Structure 1
Amino acid sequence: MPGRSANRRIWAIGLVAVLVLTAAVLIGSRWRDRAGTDHHAATTTVSHVHGLAVNPADGQLYVATHHGVVRMSHNQASLVGDARQDTMGFAVVGPNTFLASGHPAPGQPGPAHLGLIESRDGGDSWHSLLLAGHADFHVLRTTGAITYGLDSTSGTLMASSDRTTWDSRSQIDAYDLAVDPKRADIILATTERGVQRSTDGGRTWQPSGGPPALLLHWQDAERLYAIGVDGRILLSSDGGDTWSPTGGTAPDAPVAFTVHGDQLFVATRSGDVRRSSDSGASWHALETSLS
């Protein structure tokens, strides 16, 4: 994993340099950390964010961090449950049902890679599904019956229809993934070669022809969002064939992105979490001090 993590940093930083972007787009520093890196010291604020998603059970934003999962509710941030694992590949797949991967907290028993873990109580508790000790999913995406996972230990895109058996689909050094909500075989991936598209469930890839992007969110059949490497918020209504700027710009150094209704949420490298209700034209900072 260290080699692939380093490669992601190199290509991303190089891409920024080539495009003469500002230091705001430090995309190579997102959250591709080595297993065992100790960032687990006691924390009093949201930091080192790996993922964002809204839980349909309560409509609240959940933030996956190096210190566990944080719920942002009524302008308060609080750690959920007692688990303090390094929560990566975070995905909300249903009301109070989460998937994740990552690494155990210091002193927590078990292998260095958590494999695929699941919570069915809104993050209060977690249990292992499979691949503990073998897979480190830095990205997890699910659509319908299919779950895709990007394993950082091997650079392999894996797929499962039951979350118990997995099929290795292809090797791809991707930064983020988005899956068509209606057609699970269609996937977009942000890479050093630009956005790549697969129409066969990740077995093969071709350039999408779209603008270089860092983060993706496929909200529904009509709305596919991207944060470009220049920080612009982009929107596609045809599955990524064409893109239009919304007129908004992401906060500096975005590392995680999600959309819920007309609300855009972005977390930054510094640990800020911000919300926009006008397609990124303006942003409101959420409270990140832990209560």
Structure 2
Amino acid sequence: MNTRHAFAAATAVALGLTLAACAGSDDDTASSASDVSVSHIHGLGLDPSDQRLYIATHEGIYTPDSQGKPKLVGDRNDDFMGFRVAGDKTFYASGHPTSREDGPGNKGLIRSTDAGQTWKSLSLSGKSDFHALDYVHRTVYGYDATNGLLRTSKDGATWKNGAELQALDIAVSPQDPDLVLATTAEGVARSTDGGKTFTEGKRPVLAYLSWQAKGALYGIDPSGGLYRSTDGGTTWKKLATAPGGKPQALTAVGAEHILAATQTGVYESKDGGKTFDERLSVESSGGH
């Protein structure tokens, strides 16, 4: 783990979370749902084409089977770190290969156009590990934990470097491509120039952010407290506490539709956090 990656790990620790492995997974084991348990969740999303839930983990991408148990998607048990559903069957991700795979330890940016069955390397293989990804305004925004940078790319191949910072997660305004927020150990940092510069973090201290609809910016704190901002992160209101303790991931699907992964499960709310239903149980573990 290099210095910049260590900074990201330190940020996670400061937020009371665990940064999951920085190298490839040693577990290339079973893909059958009957004997699989999921832990170390790094990302969540619903495929718009069929509303199927996808869960990016330390041991591959999973989706619930007909009994609601985790089923491996494709045949890869790679450590998927940053993860974003960008459109119908189209996912962006980053992370590390399993220990049995030849090649660099960081995957850079990869993309799937068949709902996670297969993946193609787009750029920065061996150079970058994106711990947070967003895709909005036809642009990939990524927090490169290896180099401690906010990066942006229109095509997923060529990148513009933004600010250096120690962050855990990012979110981009669905209305304004220049408004980027990042979670830091001090609080939520703000950029109004597309990630070139950020303010110092301001409270509340949040672990993960997600911003899918106007007036519906969501955040979750290190103890699972769910917050919402209707003014782009200037002010926040605590709504509830998500079930299951420390968070591992947060995704807003719509203005009132939220997915949250915590130590005990993946939970879904369709009423803005008033109530949650369990979508998948998980083994107790840390977050990013």
Q: TM-score range with shorter-chain normalisation? A: 0.7 to 0.9
Q: Does 1:227 align with 2:223?
A: no
Aligned to 1:263: 257
Matched positions, count: 276
Change (3 A) 1:82 1:11: closer
Aligned to 2:286: none
Aligned to 1:84: 77
Partners in 2 of 1:240 and 1:208 — Cα distance?
Answer: 11
Letter in 2 for 1:50: H
Contact 1:210 1:240 in 2 (8 A): no
Select between 71-80 and 229-238 the one with higher mean Cα deviation: 71-80
Q: Does 1:38 align with 2:26?
A: yes
Partners in 2 of 1:11 and 1:156 — Cα distance?
Answer: 14
Change (3 A) 1:198 1:239: same
Give % identity.
Answer: 40
Aligned to 2:165: 172
TM-score by length of 1: 0.86
Aligned to 1:23: none
Aligned to 1:156: 149
Aligned to 1:119: 112
Of residues 274, 278, 286, the one that matches 1:285 is 278
Change (3 A) 1:230 1:129: same
Contact 2:109 2:125 in 1 (8 A): yes
TM-score by length of 2: 0.87
Partners in 1 of 2:266 and 2:222 — Cα distance?
Answer: 19
Select between 227-236 and 156-165 the one with higher mean Cα deviation: 227-236
Q: SS at the partner of 2:36?
A: coil
Contact 1:223 1:237 in 2 (8 A): yes
Of residues 59, 64, 67, the one that matches 1:67 is 59
Partners in 1 of 2:268 and 2:103 — Cα distance?
Answer: 36
Letter in 2 for 1:145: R
Select between 5-14 and 189-198 the one with higher mean Cα deviation: 5-14
Contact 2:243 2:262 in 1 (8 A): no
Aligned to 1:239: 232
Change (3 A) 1:54 1:276: same
Give the CA deviation at 1:176. Answer: 0.5
Partners in 2 of 1:37 and 1:84 — Cα distance?
Answer: 7
Partners in 2 of 1:241 and 1:286 — Cα distance?
Answer: 32
Give the CA deviation at 1:46. Answer: 1.4
Letter in 2 for 1:188: L
RMSD: 2.2
Give the CA deviation at 1:280. Answer: 3.3
Give the CA deviation at 1:4. Answer: 4.2
Give the CA deviation at 1:135. Answer: 1.0
Give the CA deviation at 1:264. Answer: 2.1
Partners in 2 of 1:76 and 1:265 — Cα distance?
Answer: 17
Change (3 A) 1:85 1:239: same
Letter in 1 for 2:109: L
Partners in 2 of 1:181 and 1:237 — Cα distance?
Answer: 13
Structure 1 unaligned spans of 5+: 16-25
Partners in 2 of 1:66 and 1:40 — Cα distance?
Answer: 11
Partners in 2 of 1:8 and 1:135 — Cα distance?
Answer: 13
Give the CA deviation at 1:108. Answer: 1.9
Give the CA deviation at 1:2. Answer: 4.8
Select between 151-160 and 206-215 the one with higher mean Cα deviation: 206-215
Show CA shifts across 1:152-176 (max 9, x none).
1111111111111111111111011
Of residues 20, 35, 47, the one that matches 2:39 is 47
Contact 2:56 2:83 in 1 (8 A): yes
Change (3 A) 1:285 1:202: same
Q: Does 1:141 align with 2:134?
A: yes
